[in-house]
Copies of this chain bind each other. A is one copy, B any other.
Amino acid sequence: MSEPRTTIIDVARAASVHPSTVSRVVNGRAELSLLPETRQRVLAAARRLGYRPSALARSLRLRRTFTLGMLIPDITNPFFPPIIKGAEDTAHARGYNVVLCNTEDSSEREATYLRVLRERQVDGLLIASSFTADAVIADLRKERFPFVLLNRASSRGADDLGVLADNRTGMASAIDHLIALGHRRIGIAAGPQTTTTGQERLAYAKSAMRARHLRPDEALITVSEGFSEETGYRAARRLFRAGDPPTAVVCANDLIALGALRAAQEVGLRVPADLSVVGFNDIPLAGRFDPPLTTVRVPQQEMGARAAALVIAALEGERIEARRVLVEATLVVRASTAAPARAERRSA
């Protein structure tokens, strides 16, 4: 059916040299001394035959694939594409490829993909999928396999490589902003508590409130089953329908915030007049929604780039200054937040 590939042997034959010589020529390392004449002969033959080296055989021999595996929970979440782009650009610049795997937020798929990637002998892993249940991660750690945690904390104080947003500061600035506007009944649309991101953002939102002498009201906390618009919508609906709604709600990410916006509209809460909404991440086009989203900006592309740089540094045995990179999370105020219509009493 298909033509037999032209191999290094074919080229060698055509150039009347030994295969190993061909190898030396095409890999063209400076320190090797080659007669310019043979060099040319080999190159000519290679071109003529349309020789294309087999990365497969090469990797087998070298025991390196120059490939990074990347685990993403949901590629349709606009938060991730810039991250992927950042990672891929950096990897590409350093001669690495990236194999992307969409885990669909399923720990089962996550495990499957992890196995596949390792069978494919990827040199390292970028893990942005977010399950806390990480027997898998523990394995990697135990086997000392190079990996970077992206946008998720490591389960223990472990000194895993990691690139994370500063959730604490981000949530604090969101809460501070709302309080400064005069809000006192602040709700939280938390992310799934099976993820470290979900846990952290909820915990930090609460502690920020406490730091401002505001007692988090459990009745105003709702937990979304996922990080999507749809799950966010359902969570927010539960919150809005149960009794007295909050005057503001802080969401674990922008999609949940978008879901909250939809739920608010459905029950007749106007944003921001009746309800202020804050998201997290500042996904692309967040400012173009109706209303434009106040959110905590996280530098997505940078995160991807730094994660890739980190594993590669580890792979190449370079010096690593910080094993754990914390990127800035800064509030971006847009039209989805405003002072509450009926001013609340200032309470101690």
Interface residues of A, Cβ cutoff 8 Å to B: 2-3, 52-57, 59-60, 65, 75-76, 78, 81-82, 84-85, 88-89, 97-102, 115-116, 118-121, 143-144, 229, 258, 261, 284-285, 288-292
Kindly identify which residue among B56, B100, B120, B229 contacts A98, using a CB–CB cutoff of 8 Å: B100
Bound together, the chains give a CA A74 to CA B101 distance in angstroms of 17
Classify the interface of chain A: helix, strand, loop or mixed.
Answer: mixed
Write the nearest CB–CB distance from A28 to chain B, whole angstroms. Answer: 16
Bound together, the chains give a CA A143 to CA B3 distance in angstroms of 8
Write the nearest CB–CB distance from A239 to chain B, whole angstroms. Answer: 20
Q: Does the CB pair B65–A75 fall under 8 Å?
A: no
Bound together, the chains give a CA A145 to CA B98 distance in angstroms of 22
When A84-B75, A143-B3, A288-B289 are in contact, do A56 and B118 touch as well, CB less than 8 Å? no
Interface centre among A59, A81, A258 (most CB of B within 10 A): A81
CB nearest neighbor in B for A3:
B143
Q: Can you list 5 A-B contacts with CB-CB less than 8 angstroms, sorted by A residue number?
A: A56-B120, A57-B60, A85-B102, A97-B101, A289-B290
Bound together, the chains give a CA A118 to CA B51 distance in angstroms of 11
CB nearest neighbor in B for A109:
B92
Kindly identify which residue among B3, B56, B98, B102 contacts A88, using a CB–CB cutoff of 8 Å: B102
Contacts of A82 in B (CB 8 A): 76
Q: Does the CB pair A144–B2 fall under 8 Å?
A: yes
Contacts of A261 in B (CB 8 A): 288
When A2-B144, A56-B120, A100-B98 are in contact, do A85 and B75 touch as well, CB less than 8 Å? yes
Bound together, the chains give a CA A112 to CA B97 distance in angstroms of 12
Bound together, the chains give a CA A327 to CA B42 distance in angstroms of 48
CB nearest neighbor in B for A335:
B290
Bound together, the chains give a CA A52 to CA B290 distance in angstroms of 50
Contacts of A102 in B (CB 8 A): 84-85, 88-89
Contacts of A101 in B (CB 8 A): 88, 97
Contacts of A60 in B (CB 8 A): 54, 56-57, 60
Q: Does the CB pair B54–A121 fall under 8 Å?
A: yes
When A76-B82, A290-B290 are in contact, do A229 and B285 touch as well, CB less than 8 Å? yes
When A76-B85, A99-B97 are in contact, do A121 and B292 touch as well, CB less than 8 Å? no
Bound together, the chains give a CA A289 to CA B287 distance in angstroms of 9
Q: Does the CB pair B121–A56 fall under 8 Å?
A: yes
Kindly identify which residue among B99, B100, B119, B289 contacts A285, using a CB–CB cutoff of 8 Å: B289
The 5 A-B residue pairs whose C-beta atoms are closest, nearest first, are: A290-B290, A55-B119, A100-B100, A55-B120, A76-B81
Contacts of A116 in B (CB 8 A): 55, 97
Contacts of A99 in B (CB 8 A): 97-100
When A81-B76, A290-B290 are in contact, do A52 and B258 touch as well, CB less than 8 Å? no
Kindly identify which residue among B52, B76, B84 contacts A284, using a CB–CB cutoff of 8 Å: B76
CB nearest neighbor in B for A60:
B56
Contacts of A115 in B (CB 8 A): 52
Write the nearest CB–CB distance from A50 to chain B, whole angstroms. Answer: 8
CB nearest neighbor in B for A301:
B76
Q: Does the CB pair B285–A258 fall under 8 Å?
A: yes
Write the nearest CB–CB distance from A79 to chain B, whole angstroms. Answer: 11
Contacts of A288 in B (CB 8 A): 258, 261, 289-290
